[in-house]
Structures are given as C-alpha cells and as structure tokens.
Structure 1
Amino acid sequence: MAGPDMPGPRQEARHTLHYVSEQKHDWPRVRLHVVTGKGGTGKSTVAAALALALASHGRNVLLCEVEGRQGIARMFDVDPLPYEERRIATGLPGPDGSPGHVHALHIDPESALLEYLSMYYKLGRAGRALDRFGVVEFATTIAPGVRDVLLTGKVFEAVQRNSRNKLAIRYDAVVLDAPPTGRIAQFLNVNNELAGLARMGPIKSQADTVMTLFRSPRTAVHLTTVLEEMPVQETADGIAELHRANLPVGGVVVNLVRPRDLDAADLEAARADELDRAAIRSDLKEARVEDGNGLVDGLVEEARDHAERRALEDDQRALVGELDVPTYELPRLAGGVDLGGLYELAAVLREQGMA
C-alpha cells in the first residue's frame, strides 16, 4: 500500500522516452522485484524491460526465470541458458553514460536440488549419481512444495549473496519472472506449502529464511495486466491474495496499451457512426489515395471498433486506478517486441519512475 517507499496510484502514465536525471524511482529499498501476471499479458516482457531499466548508473541486475520455457533466451536472442549466470545485455545508460549489465539465470528444480545437496550435505558425485537414478526428478515432482523451496531458495541466494564466494557477482537488484498470478501467492508462500511435508530440518529452515526476505520491504511483487475484464479482475484477486499471505504488493504494469491518436470528440463520433465521410474522402484524395473497394466504409468501421475498444479500456483503467497501488503503462509496439523494443519499454518504465 502507499507509504514512504510506495507512492499512491499514478493517474496519468507518461510515455516520453527521454531520461530525466532528477527522476526518483518508486522502489529505492527493493532488491527483489517479482513480476507476475495472467498468461498472455506479457509478464516476461515486463520482467525483461524492468531488468534493463534497473541496470542503470552502473548497476548489475540478475534476471531469473523458473518456469522452464527459456523465455529469456528467446527475448534476448541468445542461446538457451544453462544453470549458471550469464551476462546477456547492457542496461540503459544513465546520465553519466555508464550503464550496468543484465545477467540471466534459468533456474530448474533438478539443478537447484543438486546444488542444494552439494552445499548443505557435501554430496558432489553422490548427488549426480542420484540424478542418474531419477531420485532428483522424483523428489521435485512428488513434493511441489519442496520444488518451490528449491527454486525460491536460489533466488534468495542471489539477493542475499555474501562474501563467502568471492567469484560470485554481487547484484544491486534481482528480477524474477515468476509463475502466473493464479499461483504466485502459493509459489512465494513456501512455508504453507511445506506445512505437511517438513516441520523441521534444513528444508524447513531454508523456507523460513526465504520467507524473511519475501515478506520484507526489500521485496515487491509487481502484477502485469492488460485493459481487459478477466486480466484486471485476476490482478485485483491476486493483490487481495498477496495481502492475505502478508506478501508485499508492488505496482501494476498495464501492458499493450493502444495509442491515443483520436481525441474524445472523434471517438464519440466514431462510436455513433457520425464521422464525416466526405472529409475522409477529401483527405484521402489530398494524400493521393484512391477511394476504391469501400475504403472509406472500411476506415469508418475500423474507427468504430477502435472507439469501442477504447471505451472498454477506459472502464478497465478506472478499475485499475481503484487498486490503490502505483500503476505504470507500456505501449503496444507496432512491430512487436524484439530486443530494441525491450529497450524502448525499459525507457518508458524508467521515465514513469518504476526503475
């Protein structure tokens, strides 16, 4: 909720791309940014753009994924990621011209378990032998709560990294491309998931330690949505569930926002089918475009569809504004999202104060 480090909702999202050096971002105390959202809202794109935005002023950022889809590799056009941290991009340049870097990590439960066995039980070769016999797959499949502890435990280690491993990179921020909204509270609330599996011992101890980070001001869970009824409702439900689990809610990123090229009067005329067809024909003629094959009628129909969609989006935008959390908007990019598009979206997030 709103507070010194969590400002109230932003009623007007800005889309300018230049950098304002005095702009302060909304999450100065946050080290772990968890990004979730309903499927199809572009949460992975938002996570990648946020990582690029955070990697400014010489900061090092780790972008993690836990769903096994190799989405980071596809977005950044690199080879599939192994279970190790790889530098994949340079962040947005800061005002001093010295950007940081984005590293990536693909976390899979089997590799996380082998690392866990090696760190806490010194099972190096023995752990790999267990993997060959299928014990690792069995352990991470039969007990989903243990699986989530292993996945989140690796994220925790990246955030809390200490000086024991002098070769490991110390990150200024970690961005987690997390499971969808419908599973996010369950995924992060690992203590509840382990309640019937491990009441004591190292796994339970690790879960307790992870929860101290997840419930602290150093973590923020950001939700991605689009301006449609079901994703907005799921976002509201997700915020309520996170609050019930005492997990810190971050901001809401409204993705894929359509351009606002028509003013209110033109939108109303389009919805009422009152656009001036003669004026449209005149404009087409001036542009040396022939009015053939029902072109004007087609344009009027497209304008009406656009105006109706805009009206529905405005209704959903009003509902997002009632969620009482900081909100940000990302435009729909005409050419789709490639690496250049990710940088463009990162600049928008930074301009709006998210990073």
Structure 2
Amino acid sequence: MQLHVVTGKGGTGKSTVAAALALSLASTGKEVLLCEVEGRQGIARMFDVDPLPYEERRIARGLPVGDVSPGSVHALHIDAESALLEYLAMYYRLGRAGRALDRFGIIDFATTIAPGVRDVLLTGKVYEAAQRNARNKSAKTYDAVVLDAPPTGRITQFLNVNGELAGLAKVGPIKNQADTVMTLFRSPKTLVHLVTVLEEMPVQETADGIKDLRAAQLPVGAVIVNLVRPRDLGTADLKAARTGTLDREQITADLLSAKIDVSHELVDALLLEARDHAERRALEDEQRAVVQDLGAPTYELNRLADGVDLGGLYELAAQLKGQGLA
C-alpha cells in the first residue's frame, strides 16, 4: 500500500496507532511520511519535537530489524490555508499574489465557506505527497504515507470529497482536483484502517464506519483493536472470579507466604477487584467476537502500563510489525 489512512472514534488512540504504524513501516526500510490534518499538533507531542510547520521534517528512525537498514519517519502538519497557497503557487504560479490574497482574507473565506472545499485542500496535499510529480521537483519521494485522519464519524465524508462537492462545484479546478484525489483514494494503493477499543460504542461506530466506507467504494483495510488488557488469568479462574467461587483460604495463604499483612477487608477487596476484572474481560470478549465478524483483518495492541511515550510508540510499532501489518 502507498497510502494508509487511520481513523477511529475519539479516545481510541487513533493518532497513537497512526504514529506506531509509520514507525513500523519505517522499520522495513521504507521512507514514510506521517501527516495530520486536524490542527492539534499531536505528532509533535507524541514524538517530543517542536510544533510542526507546514513543512516536511524528519522526526524518527524505524526500528532496526536484522540486516534491514531502517527508513525514516517524516512528519507534516497540513492546514487548509497553507495547502491552498501552495496549490495556487504550484498550479497557477501565484506566489506573491497568493500571499496578497491571504492578507485580504480571501484565503480564509475560501477555506471556511464550504467544508467540502476545505477537505479538498487537505486531501489534495495528501494526494500530492503520495503521488509526487514534476510540479514539485525538489520534494522528497516517499514509499508510504500514513494519514492521521478525522474520526470515524466523519471519515467517509472527509475522503469522499467528490460527493461532498457535488452540489457546490460541478466544473472547474476544485472539481478537477477532487476527481484526481478520488482516483487515489479508491485505488488499490490506499487502505483505510479503523481503530477501536473493546467497548460497545466504539465497536458499533467502527461497524458503521466500515459500512459507510464500502458504500462509498472506499477501500477498508484493517480493524486495529487498541488498549487491549493483559490476560493474566485463565478461563477457569475468570469464571470463578465472576461467580464468587475463588478459594479464599488459598488466596489468604498466598498473601501470607508473600509476607503481606492479611486482613479480612484486604481479601474482600481483592475478591471484588478480581470479579470486576473478570466481568470486564467477559464484556471485552463479547465485543472481540463482534469485531471478528466485521469482515476485515484484525490486529491487537496491548495497553501499555506506563502510558505512551516515544519508547511506547516503538513498542507498539514492534507489535504491529510482529503481526504482519507493516
């Protein structure tokens, strides 16, 4: 794949997964561009670098694996205003004139009058990065582009720029750009990955997102289940915890053997914690079965005990690579 679009319901960690996927692809020797379009500077925070300008910058190297020389991850923060100015300069040679338009507020007007126009500009820059041509001779060519895209509830609208412009522009350069972008988004070079967690609402939104993407003829990639809890207890122990039949005397003996001061209240609290954990695991297993019936490849990423920092991103990248997504 040349373009990996990563979406997910808010709170599922889609930006984290996009960053980990970029690192995973770079570990196979690829040169990767990681893009964001939501104006949050999430890439800069995750990689602990200065806020990104509208300029491609190298921010990390992939994991070294065997004899493979790792590639690099570059990052780009895309905003509609800068994308429009670049578009005017590249296709209409309006360098200074374009900046003059910006001073008069015309750029801001053009990017806010209709959401469809804004999305065309954002996706148009993603297209340009993935399909470099002679108009941008000095730009770096990438083996893969990873897009940290808007949430699942808006992803089909965001990517289906052609449909969003249907009532606004039937001819002209904006319509032509939308048509060009759609040739990439609907091609075998693109995959849209959906990030979820094992909870009912995010899983349902993922199912709805897959349905909408397929209806719009946009290519669905993988479902990536994030923040998966560790499986420290076996099936029998989980059932005993749920039903309140764990061996209280054995738990007490184990605590004493570990030289822990044991009280009736401590054992009660541990049994309650075990029951809550077992009930949560049962609910997660129900949602995992739903995810597996969505008709898309599924990958899982473990919840990191210490949260996500740069080291955590590399750990998640290794998990994705180990499962064969990169």
* Correspondence list, 1:22-171, <5 A: 30-171=1-142
Worse overlay, 126-135 or 98-107? 126-135
**Between Structure 1 and Structure 2, which shows a larger proportion of helix residues?**
2
1: CA distance between counterparts of 2:133 and 2:270?
61
Does the 8 A contact of 2:56 with 2:74 survive in 1?
yes
Q: Deviations over 1:174-225 (max 9, x none)?
A: 0000000000000000001111111111111111010000000000000000
CA displacement at 1:97 relative to structure 2? 4.2
1: CA distance between counterparts of 2:108 and 2:270?
56
Alignment equivalent of 1:310, drawn from 277, 281, 284: 281
Does the 8 A contact of 2:90 with 2:136 survive in 1?
no
1: CA distance between counterparts of 2:87 and 2:222?
32
1: CA distance between counterparts of 2:258 and 2:84?
64
* Correspondence list, 1:132-281, <5 A: 132-281=103-252
Worse overlay, 251-260 or 92-101? 92-101
SS of equivalent to 2:325: coil
Q: Does 1:328 align with 2:307?
A: no
2: CA distance between counterparts of 1:271 and 1:171?
51
SS of equivalent to 2:273: helix
CA displacement at 1:324 relative to structure 2? 1.1
Q: Deviations over 1:300-340 (max 9, x none)?
A: 11110000000000000000010111000000001001100
Gaps of 5+ in 2: none
Worse overlay, 77-86 or 124-133? 124-133
Does the 8 A contact of 2:29 with 2:69 survive in 1?
yes
1: CA distance between counterparts of 2:59 and 2:195?
23
SS of equivalent to 1:105: strand
2: CA distance between counterparts of 1:332 and 1:219?
28
2: CA distance between counterparts of 1:180 and 1:76?
21
Gaps of 5+ in 1: 1-29
SS of equivalent to 1:83: coil
Partner in structure 1 of residue 258 of structure 2: 287
SS of equivalent to 2:225: strand
Q: Deviations over 1:101-152 (max 9, x none)?
A: 0000000001001111111221111111211222111111111111000000
Does the 8 A contact of 1:57 with 1:96 survive in 2?
no
Question: What value does the CA root-mean-square deviation take over the aligned residues?
Answer: 1.0
Q: Deviations over 1:54-73 (max 9, x none)?
A: 00232100000000000000
1: CA distance between counterparts of 2:110 and 2:180?
21
**Which runs of at least 4 in structure 1 moved beyond 3 Å after TM superposition?**
163-166
**Which has the bigger relative contact order, CA under 8 A and spacing at least 6?**
1
**How many equivalent residue pairs?**
326
Alignment equivalent of 1:340, drawn from 300, 311, 317: 311
CA displacement at 1:163 relative to structure 2? 4.6
Does the 8 A contact of 2:2 with 2:144 survive in 1?
yes
